[in-house]
Amino acid sequence: SIKTLILTLWKRDDEAPKRSEEVALSNAVSAYIERITGDRSVTPCFNTFYEFVRDDYRRQLEQKNVREKDFDIDNFLNVLEPYYKGGEYDYLLNSDKELDLLHKRFIV
């Protein structure tokens, strides 16, 4: 799932996420999906997810008084910044090409 992928990029193998972090990330992904389904001008990719978390979701957390110890959004954004535009790995999660895999050979 998207949440699992993001958790894998965010946390080290020996660093289990807290329940509050999992909940916050699930809520962020759900809110982002709601945003992209309601606003077709938003391109679904990691860049727009990152911007959504940085701007909109941050405000939601503040309104709900979520404490930094429960979800450290600055740490989250800092660790994932290399995957955001201009970062070392920005090409990995931000393809602007729509892939049609139906006509590709399946290799196991």
Tell me how far CA of residue 100 lies from CA of 49, 97, 103, 104, 105, in angstroms: 23, 9, 7, 8, 11
Q: What is the pTM of this model?
A: 0.85
pLDDT tens profile 65-106 = 999 999 999 999 999 999 999 999 998 888 776 655 566 666
pLDDT tens profile 25-57 = 999 999 999 999 999 999 899 999 999 999 999
